[in-house]
Amino acid sequence: MRLLSVRLIVSLILGITLVSLAFSYYQVVGEKRALRSDLERRADVLGESLAGNVEKAWEAGSNQALPRLVQRFGNREHLIGVGVYDRQAEIVAMTPELGKKLTASPQALTQAIQEDHDESSFVKLGNTPVLILALPLHHQDELVGGLAIVHDASYIHAQMLRVWRETFLRVLAQVVLIVFITLLIVRWSISGPIARAAQWMRALRMGRISSCQEMPNLDMFRPLAREVATMAESLSQARSAAENEARLREAGESMWTADRLSAHIRTRLDGSRPFVVSNREPYIHQRNGKSLNVVVPPSGLVTALEPVLNACDGTWIAHGSGDADMEAVDAQDCLRVPPDDPRYTLRRLWLSKEEEEGYYYGFANEGLWPLCHIAHTRPIFRASDWRHYQEVNRKFTDAVLEEIEDTLGPVILVQDYHFALLPRLIKEKRPDARVAIFWHIPWPNPEAFGICPWQRQLVDGLLGADLIGFHVQSHCNNFLQTVDRVVESRVDWEHFSVLRQDHRTIVRPFPISVDLTDDEPAEGDNHGFTYLERASLMRSLGTEATFLGIGVDRVDYTKGILERFLAVERFLEKYPTYQGKFTFVQIGAPSRTHIKRYHDLLAEVEAEADRINWRFQSGKWKPIVFMKRQHSHNEIAPYYRAADLCLVTSLHDGMNLVAKEFLAARRDERGVLILSQFTGAARELRDALLVNPYDIDQSAEAIRVALEMEPEDKQARVQRMRRTIKEHNIYRWAGNLITELCEVRLDAMEDEHEKLRASASIA
């Protein structure tokens, strides 16, 4: 920094001096020219009137009059003297002062007499610079002699010296002032922020702070600071991943991390990247006036897959559902995401309103969703919706085929019930592709599934895949039983696979999870939320309470939100001492509201919260706070961390990641999870208080037990469940899925490779 300052000062001094000197030079030259022409003008005026007078005296033949005349004109400002000469340039009359200085007739005068016109020139008389103006004298139009007027021009020189002196002083003052101000600016706006950033980065490097801690104020370096923050975040993640790896290696454990998954995929896929297909995209662009907002949708699928794609790159193909999605993509409909730290490609696919209506709202969410979730909402099957579903599956197939065109043996991970037909459609065109489909929702028993008029086509489409994944074993069993009943095939119960038309499909459970790898409680985490922090959170919600319960869901009839509210009501009824002390906060993201059942449910949930609040609320306390809007992960985190309990009361759920997210957020090892026995998560999280959400009394009792549980008991339960999630995190899910998929033997693959290689060499 010191070197920078010295260089800056020297450059400033040189720069300012050169510029000032150049300007001053032009100023001085100009001034000199102005002074000279002023003197010349004065000499001319004097010359004109004097010449007239001299000529008159000459005419009168009065030789005595001439010395008097020149004497009279001789005392003007800066005038040294005047001389009158005859035709031979001999002196006729001259002022005495000039006579002392002028030893011979000046050159200008001889020239003026010879050429008969005015002459003027700046010359030196001894050491004195002078202006000599010489004029020819006439008598009756005949040249009779000449007149010399000599002015002292030394004052012009003095004036120039004065200007240069002033210039020097001005340049000096400017240099000092500008250097001083520049140094101050550098110090405040550059050195200061850089020093702060360096200090901050040093602290990060030494691990004294986490990168999440707020950046120092870096003024105009803010855009740079954001980049640095992201880089620091990546570095810190890399460091903690490396530390984690080392710790695990030391402990002989085999935990999955982002880095391990990334290395695993590189090896397994021989350097190529996976392709993921889902209906829901991970980032939605929305226009808000002049600004473009990026929203992460409330989706378990997105929560789970985002860390996987971040770890291994690849292409995620999804429906572009945002009103500004088209503005954000390139000519191939692609963009790199996450927007702040791009790591993989999102390829957006566009659907018409009719397609979205029929395929997404209609067949997928009014048909398959209630069909697979036994939650007593009747599925609706419309032939027109089914047509759209088939069309959109074909449309996505085309997009996938386009993306995998240049990849030999691509690995494709299809997601969810929106794309049951996709595996077969892809494999028909690219038998060399390894295709897995993961079904994120439950698969019901064959009787329940049997009401779908197109069950055969759905099952057949799925069996095009090499691997089908469900969250839990019972969903695999239900699926295989359905296959057995619906299509011509051989189900191998020993190896959990299906052989249909010479193609084998493996069916396996892969319990999906969240990104939990670092189980070490962070410094300061042990105390969790303080009483004051929690009180201020409550105040921000407009309530005051000692105990806090939390629920986070899309507002969906499968989530048992109404049953949950009834349980809170029953609890307050049964245990009135908790009235005024326990508040339940429900974060509810409106979802699929275009469907009447969802639209009505939102109103029902609101009305139920109002009814219970009206019944119990008093003073500053209310029992239920319903926050009806989508919240980001960062907004939800404080509620997870502040809550005494989390209520997950789904009537039926494939897995439910809220349960796992809540535990992942509890690094303080506190809080109690009350979990529906009808979720996939209940198979893994045995230390939760398991409830049947239809049994309102049981859920109410679970709330009391949770609030009164001994801290040691709570801690032991959270510790065990966090360990389970950590061991079975999202990286293991993806790692296992890809390992299993890569181990599938593809008979067609070698032939296909040959064909592709041949066509590549012809091209």
> Which residues of the chain form contacts with ligand F6P (CB under 6 A)?
280, 299-301, 416, 440-441, 591-592, 654
CB of 759 to ligand F6P, least distance (A): 37
CB of 591 to ligand F6P, least distance (A): 5
CB of 559 to ligand F6P, least distance (A): 10
Query: What separation in angstroms does the CA of 672 have from each of 677, 705, 715?
Result: 15, 9, 9
DSSP bridge pairs for 132: 121, 150
How distant is the alpha carbon of residue 52 from its chain centre? Answer: 88
How distant is the alpha carbon of residue 126 from its chain centre? Answer: 79
Nearer to ligand F6P, 138 or 395 (CB): 395
Nearer to ligand F6P, 592 or 641 (CB): 592
Rg of the chain in Å (alpha carbons): 47
Closest CA to 692 of 702, 680, 684, 704: 702
The amino acid occupying position 345 is T
Per-residue DSSP letter, 417: G
CB of 751 to ligand F6P, least distance (A): 36
Tokens 């193609």 belong to which residue?
503
Query: What separation in angstroms does the CA of 541 have from each of 252, 513, 538, 751?
Result: 46, 30, 5, 64
CB of 399 to ligand F6P, least distance (A): 18
Q: How far apart are CA 649 and CA 692, in angstroms?
A: 8
CB of 715 to ligand F6P, least distance (A): 30
The amino acid occupying position 523 is E
Q: How far apart are CA 139 and CA 154, in angstroms?
A: 35
CB of 441 to ligand F6P, least distance (A): 5
Nearer to ligand F6P, 95 or 679 (CB): 679
Closest CA to 553 of 648, 643, 641: 648
Nearer to ligand F6P, 440 or 652 (CB): 440
Cα within 13 Å of Cα(533), Cβ side: 9
Nearer to ligand F6P, 42 or 475 (CB): 475
- What is the DSSP pairing of strand 411-415 with strand 275-278? parallel
Nearer to ligand F6P, 118 or 356 (CB): 356
Nearer to ligand F6P, 415 or 724 (CB): 415
Nearer to ligand F6P, 300 or 423 (CB): 300
Residues 6+ apart with CB under 8 A from 735: 256, 260, 261, 264
Coil, helix or strand at residue 624: strand
CB of 714 to ligand F6P, least distance (A): 28
Nearer to ligand F6P, 257 or 415 (CB): 415
Q: How far apart are CA 71 and CA 147, in angstroms?
A: 13
Burial tier of 334 (Cβ tally within 10 Å: 0-12, 13-18, 19+):
middle
Question: CB neighbours (10 Å) of residue 413?
Answer: 25
Closest CA to 545 of 574, 514, 579, 569: 579
CB of 439 to ligand F6P, least distance (A): 8
Nearer to ligand F6P, 322 or 654 (CB): 654
Coil, helix or strand at residue 160: helix
Nearer to ligand F6P, 631 or 753 (CB): 631
CB of 692 to ligand F6P, least distance (A): 22
Coil, helix or strand at residue 521: coil
Q: How far apart are CA 437 and CA 454, in angstroms?
A: 19
CB of 409 to ligand F6P, least distance (A): 28
Q: Which two tokens stand for residue 523?
A: 């410094």
Nearer to ligand F6P, 95 or 299 (CB): 299
CB of 753 to ligand F6P, least distance (A): 34
